[in-house]
Structure 1
């Protein structure tokens, strides 16, 4: 892994994370650039 994070040889994977609530939930039409890690996936929806 040359250069580490943020270099031309970026060492991380960037994967979009999409969530759908069929009846209401969070209002759509917005982008959020907040960084998360895999440990945030379950606690975040539970807190909502």
Structure 2
């Protein structure tokens, strides 16, 4: 997931990626920093058991 977000955002720094699951939402704008990439991983881990 983080690889796809990085590739999408690296093409244009104003692109946004919004991940939504139920009421939870995470939005990344531009080229994600290491901290933002960690947030994406943590966000996705919360829902691994639901899959």
TM-score, shorter chain, exceeding 0.5: no
Asked which structure has the greater RCO (Cα within 8 Å, sep 6+), the reply is: 2
Whose helix proportion is higher, 1 or 2? 2
Larger Rg: 1
Normalization by structure 1: what TM-score? 0.29
